[in-house]
Chains A and B, each alone.
Chain A
Amino acid sequence: MGSNGKKFDLFNFLYKYGTIIVILAAVLFFSLTLENFMNFSNITNIFRSVSIVALIGLAITMSLTISGFDLSVGAIAGFASVIAAKFMVVWEMGPIPAIIVPLLVGILIGCVNAFFIIKMNIADMLTTLSMMFLLTGISITFQNGSAIYNFMPLPNLGGIAPGTMSKAFLYIGQGKILNIPVPVIIMLVVAILAHLFLNQTKYGRYLYMIGSNEEAAKLSGIPINRYKLIAYMMSGFIAALGGLVLGARLGSGEVNAGAPYLMDAVAAAYIGFSVFGIGKPNAFGTLIGALLMGVLLNGLIMMDFPYYSQDIVKGIVLVLALSLTYYKRKE
């Protein structure tokens, strides 16, 4: 009956390194079959394409650490891009307020989410779902129904929009430093900071403990409401930052541009649980999760895999990663 020798070890190995192995295997496979896969420009391309998913995924990761959930991140990102665009294009403001204000709004939305979750005791999913609808509506109203971009026609006033998106702002989404796209740099910096915050500071430990057993955390003297608030504020902030990168890359402001990133970001965060067998939401894992999907999609598209079937790949990757995490928990 001593059947837990080899098989068990293999599973444990997969549990820890499965996600990494899949990435390496995919990279190896694509670089052998596709001659352009491994060149510098394609690699930066992959990184750039995952940067927004990764950022929004990091936002969700923050709420996941306290066993919460923030469904409003996609809408926050979209709204942030709209605010920035409207400030510059319609109201002719400079890049500084167009960056600062959306970030503050993101934090504020996090506060509102936290208020309803903590004080009104509404489930996190439902609160943030409502917030998602609310923000989408507010945003569309604010942008007068359509996307905001340079020289767009203005329906009410007639003529075209007076301002333009500033170069400095567009640099966030389109610039390069030492040949590395700025979005990639932002993504890496945020991921590193989030990783340090979650793993090396006492605050990060408090967040995880709240997620692990709220009651025990409270009775250990941790001010749980304060830290829940912080988690949602950080979620809002990072999501807004993701939205700015998005807006700068597209050169426009449009709330619905953020929405499609929500589900990919959720997937990235959950795939992240399985990286190195951590079994918990974590910043590094989320980054890897986003990268894994980016690599697979990029390679498949280069192999002429139809773009409309991409979701099949995402679904399979997600369910495999979840299996690794949750099967282990069952033990």
Chain B
Amino acid sequence: MLKMKGITKTFPGVKALENVDFEVGSGEVHALIGANGAGKSTLMKVLAGAYGGYEGDIFINNRKVTINNPIDAKHNGIVIVYQEVDTALVPHLTVAENIMMDYIIQQKNVFMNWKKIRRFAKQEIEALGLDINVNRLVSGLSLSEKQMVLIGRAFFHKAKYLILDEPTAPLSVEETEKLFEIVRKIKNEGISVIFISHRLDEIFKICEKITVLKDGKNVGTFNTEDLTIDQAVEKMLGRKLENTYPKVEAVAGDTLLEVRDLSGTGGVKNVNIKVRAGEIIGLAGLVGGGKTELCKLLFGEGKITDGKIILEGKNTTPKTPTDAVENGLALVPEERRKEGIFVNETVETNITLPTLKSYCRGIFMNKGKIKKVSCENIKKVGIKTPGEKELVRNLSGGNQQKVAIGKWLLSVAKVFIFDEATKGVDVGSKAEIYELIGGLVKQGKGVIYASCEFSEILGLTDRVYVMYNGTIAKELITKETTEEELLYYSAGGGLNGE
């Protein structure tokens, strides 16, 4: 049994955790939920020894322990899998080497017994019921496979407490299912899993206990069966969420963007799409279906081998993202840390970058105006930050995502492309983001919204293109379709002759 008592953690300007108690039983799958910036990741980082110090006490099996660094945590059987899995893996080593990393480091022999290492790694992988060749390089693995490798590593450590910080955010439905199977397996071995997610339906599926954090305080711990999703949301946000998908009524006008027979890098083939003014188009598809590649191609990133992109009747096929922005496109990319934001820059610098030209006199920046615009935008998007000069890396994951979105809302673009834009965003903020998107279409903009969460597609969009294997498998009217139908086509259903 693991118990955290009176944990307090402050950062300059922020009290991230205030006197938090948290308790996890053995073999328990315990959810930690809360709005963006509530302190979930911070609490888990304390437990994993990511910070040098903390206030409060940690007990394991009623014995007080001190965890000042990741090694302490490991000795106490605590392993964390961060959302940024790449930070914990060595890409040009094999799966086996990555799983057995600590074993390899601790080896006293000069010569490695690679056979043994591979065998051990294979055992771990098989024990988890996985099917990954241990000789493959980690750089060639998908995100979900990388997670599995990290879980495999934790398993090898004989971890007693496994922390998963938003593991499912980048995963497809199937991959999520697979992860859950593993979680169940681990649980049966008596290992406790602490599970952070903003997808509440998942939590209700696999967790037996739920702890809700709000503004750095513990609101309470509940048995899952004593709570409904709506109640959980209310506890998280401190208010009832009236409408998950606030629908803004906008009338669809003329065709804004037309994509004709587009093919290009990333396996995009023969894509035909139309977006009208005042319309939200869904791009539905499984992870790997080609949504991201298509979004990037539309935005001039990658090489277009065939076809054209017509904006307001003019051929505007972009060669670079710069062209695309000049033509009136905006893209909120999928991988925020890598592509969307500048973590070592301030919130202000981030959200004013694409529109910087508008806050300049000649070539000189008008810093007063930049500050004013940023403050307004921070409020509008609901970014939780101590100030506009805060570095983005100090924001919580969900708030970083809001920065990635917020930087485009100032632009005069005509067509906005969102690629998995609400990844890691809490339910309350999601509704706010949908509202912002609604506001865009109301102004007569067009929106392309790519997502592998079909409930989101159904709630938000007017029309859906289902992608499979780099091409459009089916066009559907959102009102007339169902989640099952979307899943059917996105798995290649319509193409294989039923």
Q: Which residues of A does B touch, CB under 8 Å?
A: 1-4, 200-203, 205-206, 208-209, 212-213, 215-223
Contact = CB atoms under 8 A, between A and B. Distances in A.
B356 interface: yes
B53 interface: yes
Contacts of B364: 200-202
A205 to B, nearest CB: 6
A202 B352 CA distance: 11
B84 interface: no
Contacts of B331: 219
The 6 closest A-B pairs by CB, nearest first: A221-B325, A223-B322, A1-B53, A201-B363, A212-B342, A220-B354
Interface in B326-383: 326, 331, 333, 338-345, 349, 353-354, 356-357, 360, 363-365
Interface of B: 52-55, 299, 301, 320-322, 324-326, 331, 333, 338-345, 349, 353-354, 356-357, 360, 363-365, 407
A219 B343 contact: no
Contact of B344 (A203, A212, A221, A222): A212
Nearest to B324: A221
B320 A216 contact: no
Nearest to A329: B344
A223 B53 contact: no
A3 B51 CA distance: 12
A202 B339 CA distance: 20
Contacts of A215: 338-339
A209 B365 contact: no
A209 B322 contact: no
A1 B320 contact: no
Contact of B356 (A4, A205, A216, A223): A205
Contacts of B326: 221
20 contacts: A2-B55, A4-B52, A201-B363, A201-B364, A201-B365, A205-B365, A209-B342, A209-B353, A212-B344, A213-B338, A213-B341, A213-B343, A215-B338, A216-B339, A216-B342, A218-B301, A218-B320, A220-B354, A221-B354, A223-B322
B293 to A, nearest CB: 14
Contact of A202 (B322, B341, B360): B360
Contacts of B363: 201-203
Contacts of B333: 219
Contacts of B356: 202, 205-206
Contacts of B407: 220
A80 to B, nearest CB: 27
A215 B302 CA distance: 12
A6 to B, nearest CB: 14
Nearest to B299: A219
Contacts of A2: 53, 55
A13 B48 CA distance: 30
Contacts of A209: 342, 345, 349, 353
A62 B349 CA distance: 20
Given A203-B363, A216-B339, A223 B320 contact: yes
Taking each of B331, B341, B345, which has the highest tally of chain A beta carbons within 10 Å of its own beta carbon?
Answer: B345
Contacts of A222: 322, 353
B159 to A, nearest CB: 24
A200 B343 CA distance: 21
**Which of A208, A212, A221 counts the most B-chain CB atoms under 10 A from its CB?**
A221
Nearest to A1: B53
Given A205-B365, A213-B341, A221-B325, 9 more contacts: A2-B55, A203-B363, A205-B356, A209-B353, A213-B343, A216-B342, A218-B301, A221-B321, A221-B324
